[in-house]
Amino acid sequence: MSLLEISDLVVGYGPHPVLHGLDFVVEEGELCVLLGLNGAGKTTTVSTIAGLLRPQRGQVRLDGQVLGRSSPSARVRKGISLSPEGRRIFPRLTVRQNLRLGGWSQRRSPKVVKSQLDLALDYFPRLAEREDQLAGTLSGGEQQMLAVARALMSRPRLLLIDEASLGLSPTLARTVWEVAARIRRDGTTVLMVEQNAGALPFADRALIMEKGTLVHTAVGEAIRDVNLRETYLGV
Ligand code: ATP
């Protein structure tokens, strides 16, 4: 059984769907990259998985269990956590306070909060150096790291990362992808939304989206295929 299974997903913001019957799976332990150009429907997809949007049709299953109409917070408790596009950190709170809020669902287990905090700061040493700094004063790259670190605080089974590389220098984008790969190696399944094909070498599975549908899936070595880049991504 796949960890995440999306079937026949139709989602829109009004009467007109943006996702037209999307189907894909993510296996436990994978780093999966969902690639597509602007407006392909990537954010809509991960927002639906996180419970922020309701599908008009179709299902999201975690471990075979239909998530149905469950709320975003219920999904966090089930193990789904989202690092959203645009970061959405709390600028007037410190780095540590932002992280502690990310651990809200684990608040009755101080040991878990502490171990996740240590882990997040280990993944992103730059944040460790800035624990007491107001998040709004961090650089763009550091704020992106904080958004990913905050999402990790709930100890997810499935971490959704929406466009971590947006607006980052190539070096910083690479740093974030390397950490995503490390998170996966440490046992958390990762679904990463990207417009940047530079993320592909880090993926176990690549899903290419166009206009609200999946046009290609590649697993393992097939991801390295140059034709994949040329045909679907124009690079
Ligand atoms: P991007 O990288 O630009 O975020 P994306 O692949 O994530 O692109 P989505 O953000 O999911 O794409 O958008 C898919 C389509 O849905 C686009 O045509 C967009 O204009 C539309 N859309 C997104 N958000 C809304 C909204 N809140 N209200 C109405 N339409 C929306």
DSSP letter at 97 equals H
Compute the distance between CA of residue 46 and CA of residue 34 in angstroms, rounded to an integer.
Answer: 10
3-state secondary structure of 216: strand
Mean pLDDT of the chain: 92
Q: Is the pLDDT of residue 79 over 70?
A: yes
pLDDT at res. 226: 67
For residue 53, the CA-to-ligand 1 centroid distance in Å is 12
pLDDT at res. 227: 72
pLDDT digits (tens, 9 = 90+) for 60-71: 999 999 998 899
pLDDT at res. 234: 66
- CA of 45, closest atom in ligand 1: 11
Per-residue pLDDT, averaged over 27-44, amounts to: 95
For residue 39, the CA-to-ligand 1 centroid distance in Å is 5
Backbone angles phi, psi at 62, to 5 degrees: -115, 120
Question: Whose CA is closest to atom 17 on ligand 1?
Answer: 39
Element (H, E) at 24: strand 17-26
